[in-house]
Structure 1
Amino acid sequence: MSGVIVTGPPKADAQDVEALAGYGVATVHEAMGRTGLLPAHLRPIQQGTRVAGAAVTLLSWPGDNLMIHAAVEQCGEGDLLVVTTTSPSTDGMFGELFATALQRRGVRGLVIDAGVRDTQELRRLGFPAWAAAVSAQGTVKATGGSVNVPVAIGGQVIRPGDVILADDDGVIVVPREEARRAAEASAAREAKEAASRAAFHDGQLGLDRYGLREKLAQLGVTYASYEDHVGGGAPVRDGAGA
């Protein structure tokens, strides 16, 4: 497998990346119309951490981490390394030494659709990672690959310079051209959720706040008292006695 290392790709504006870092993955996902979410098998090795960064992408041969060494050189302040392989792999391609080198360069974290190892050391370093597997299985350095090319993970295309946002809920990609709009939409959604949170705290029900009683009626959902339900009595259609 031959490959290419692309240098100097365009990146999302750093201010937009920082703005998106203020919101959770779920909020951004909803604000973007439920797009961009990476597969649920990418799980964090830590808890309580949220990061956002500009993607440095890597396509590697499974069980071979040669191109991660090449990718480190292309990483800089505010970046986030995204690794996938040409076919499924769970080998531990990334560990403490890579994290040390990337942390020195200002890289904010890792998303890898393969395996990581040295997870205790990664947590000690404070280097966040989201991975498809945790495995002590070692790798080789024998096959070429590509850095800073578009890659696909679970049907989502990630281009170099796109924004990657990751937290306890998962990982999302925001196209670099859409970063500002996504941040603005996320701010609006968070404000809406804050208003709903306050209403729920005061005792309002989601059924009323979101007009869902009408939806239930449209779907033919009825209310019935327990006695009527178990005794075969007529359902109560207006909610009385429920």
Structure 2
Amino acid sequence: MSGVIVTDPPKADVKDVEALAGYGVATVHEAMGRTGLLGTRPRPVQQGVRVAGTAVTVLSWPGDNLMIHAAVEQCGEGDILVVTTTSPSTDGMFGELFATALKRRGVRGVIIDAGVRDTAELREMGFPAWSAAVSAQGTVKATGGSVNVPVVIGGQVIRPGDVILADDDGVVVVPREDARRAAEASEARENKEAASRAAFLEGQLGLDRYGLRTTLERLGVRYQSYDEYVRDGAGS
């Protein structure tokens, strides 16, 4: 497998990235029309952490972390390393030493559709990681791959410079040219949710706030007392 290392790709505007950093993955995903979520495989090795940054992408051979070494050189302040493999892998391709080098360069975290190891050390040093697996299985450095090319995780295309947002709920990608629109839509959604939260604290029901009683009626869902329910034989 040959490959390419692309240098200086375009990136989302820093201000737009920082604006998105104020919102959770679920909010951004919903605000974008339920798009961009990288599925359920990337899970955090820590809790209570949210990061946002621009993607530096890596396409590696399974069980081979050579191209992660190559990608470190391409990483800088505010980036998030995003790694996937040419076929499914759970090997521990990323650990404490990579995190040390990346943290020195201002990288905010790693998303890897394979395995990580040294998870206790990653938590202790405060380097966030989301991975498909945790494995002590080591890797080799023998096969070419690519850096800063489009990759696919969970059915979502991630290009270098796209915005990555990750928290306890998962990981979402925002195309770099849509970052500002996504931030504005996320703000609007959060304001709407704040209004609903206040209403629920006052005792309002979601059935009424969202007009769902007419939906139930349209779907043929009816209210029935327990006695009626038993009399009709449904409760026997």
Please confirm whether the aligned pair reaches a TM-score higher than 0.5, indicating the same fold: yes
Question: 1:155, CA displacement in angstroms?
Answer: 1.2
Match of 1:125 in 2: 125
Runs ≥4 residues deviating over 2 A: none
**CA distance in structure 1 between the aligned counterparts of 2:193 and 2:39, rounded to whole angstroms:** 25
Match of 2:173 in 1: 173
Structure 2: tracts of 5 or more residues without a match? none
Q: Is the 8 A contact 2:41 2:154 kept in 1?
A: no
Q: Per the alignment, in what secondary structure is the counterpart of residue 132 of structure 2?
A: strand
Q: Per the alignment, in what secondary structure is the counterpart of residue 74 of structure 1?
A: coil
Please list, as runs of the form range in 1=range in 2, the aligned pairs for 1:228-239 lying within 5 A after superposition: 228-232=228-232
**CA distance in structure 1 between the aligned counterparts of 2:231 and 2:106, rounded to whole angstroms:** 68
Deviations 1:94-125 (A, max 9, x none): 00000000000000000000000000000001
Corresponding pairs, count? 234
**CA distance in structure 2 between the aligned counterparts of 1:39 and 1:82, rounded to whole angstroms:** 14
Match of 1:109 in 2: 109
Question: 1:232, CA displacement in angstroms?
Answer: 1.2
**CA distance in structure 1 between the aligned counterparts of 2:210 and 2:92, rounded to whole angstroms:** 46
**CA distance in structure 1 between the aligned counterparts of 2:154 and 2:38, rounded to whole angstroms:** 6
- Amino acid corresponding to residue 129 of structure 1 in structure 2: A
Match of 2:208 in 1: 208
Question: 1:231, CA displacement in angstroms?
Answer: 1.4
Match of 1:29 in 2: 29
Match of 1:224 in 2: 224
**CA distance in structure 1 between the aligned counterparts of 2:6 and 2:94, rounded to whole angstroms:** 21
Q: Per the alignment, in what secondary structure is the counterpart of residue 16 of structure 1?
A: helix
- Amino acid corresponding to residue 48 of structure 1 in structure 2: G
**CA distance in structure 2 between the aligned counterparts of 1:7 and 1:27, rounded to whole angstroms:** 32
Q: Per the alignment, in what secondary structure is the counterpart of residue 73 of structure 2?
A: helix
- Amino acid corresponding to residue 94 of structure 2 in structure 1: F
- Amino acid corresponding to residue 67 of structure 1 in structure 2: M
Question: 1:230, CA displacement in angstroms?
Answer: 1.0
Match of 1:75 in 2: 75
Deviations 1:20-47 (A, max 9, x none): 0000000000100000100101100000
CA RMSD of aligned residues (A): 1.0
Match of 2:39 in 1: 39
**CA distance in structure 2 between the aligned counterparts of 1:213 and 1:153, rounded to whole angstroms:** 39
Please list, as runs of the form range in 1=range in 2, the aligned pairs for 1:44-63 lying within 5 A after superposition: 44-63=44-63
Question: 1:71, CA displacement in angstroms?
Answer: 0.2
**CA distance in structure 2 between the aligned counterparts of 1:229 and 1:170, rounded to whole angstroms:** 42
Question: 1:4, CA displacement in angstroms?
Answer: 0.4
- Amino acid corresponding to residue 114 of structure 2 in structure 1: A
Q: Per the alignment, in what secondary structure is the counterpart of residue 49 of structure 2?
A: coil
- Amino acid corresponding to residue 153 of structure 1 in structure 2: I
Match of 1:134 in 2: 134
**CA distance in structure 2 between the aligned counterparts of 1:30 and 1:57, rounded to whole angstroms:** 24
